Amino acid sequence: MMKNIFLAWIVGFSLSVQAAIETYQFDSPGQEERFRQLGYELRCPKCQNQAIGDSDAEISGDLRAEVYRMLREGATDDEIKDFMVARYGRYVLYNPPLDRQTLVLWFGPGGLLVLGAILVVLRIRQSKKALDEGGT
């Protein structure tokens, strides 16, 4: 008895999880992998910070369906991304391409780190010099 209840609970629970994201039939495991990867790289335009692959928003479902349709029609990953960017802007890419507009985004953090390191080195040298001078 207890076992049956437990089983029903497990089955019921897994069903409700499955209902969150619709299932698709793929031509090949490679295609499925690309679908999964694109769902991870494309960002939901309505959400704060979620990929379309793990968002429950209506629009994410629509975009997943669109990705699926394009995959089945033989579109390349770049074609699918370009399609999304043409409609939803750069915002939909979690991995924006490197160009003038995204230069700061790509190199800003590294640049700041280098700048900080230079400042630290300068500071240490300075205090060393002051110490040496004070010592003599």
Partner 1 sequence: MNRLMLWLPLGVFAVLVGFFFKGLTMDPGEQPSALIGEPFPVFDLTDLNTGERLSRETLPNQPFLLNVWASWCITCQVEHPYLTQLSEQVPIVGLNYKDTEKAAKNWLEKLGDPYALQIFDPTGRLGLDLGVAGAPETFLVDSNGVIRLRVQGEVNARVFAQKIRPRLDTIR
Contacts of 92 (CB under 8 A, 6+ apart): 42, 43, 45, 84, 85
79 binding partner 1? (CB under 8 A): no
CA distance 120 to 112: 12
58 binding partner 1? (CB under 8 A): yes
129 binding partner 1? (CB under 8 A): no
Which residue, 35 or 67, is less far from partner 1 as judged by CB? 67
Contacts of 67 (CB under 8 A, 6+ apart): 35, 38, 39, 42, 52, 80
CB of 88 to partner 1, least distance (A): 5
SS3 114: helix
Residues 22-51 as x/- pattern, contact with partner 1 by CB under 8 A = -----------------------xx-x---
Which residue, 27 or 62, is less far from partner 1 as judged by CB? 62
72 binding partner 1? (CB under 8 A): no
Q: Which amino acid is at 69?
A: R
59 binding partner 1? (CB under 8 A): yes
CA distance 57 to 65: 13
Residues 89-108 as x/- pattern, contact with partner 1 by CB under 8 A = xxx-----------------
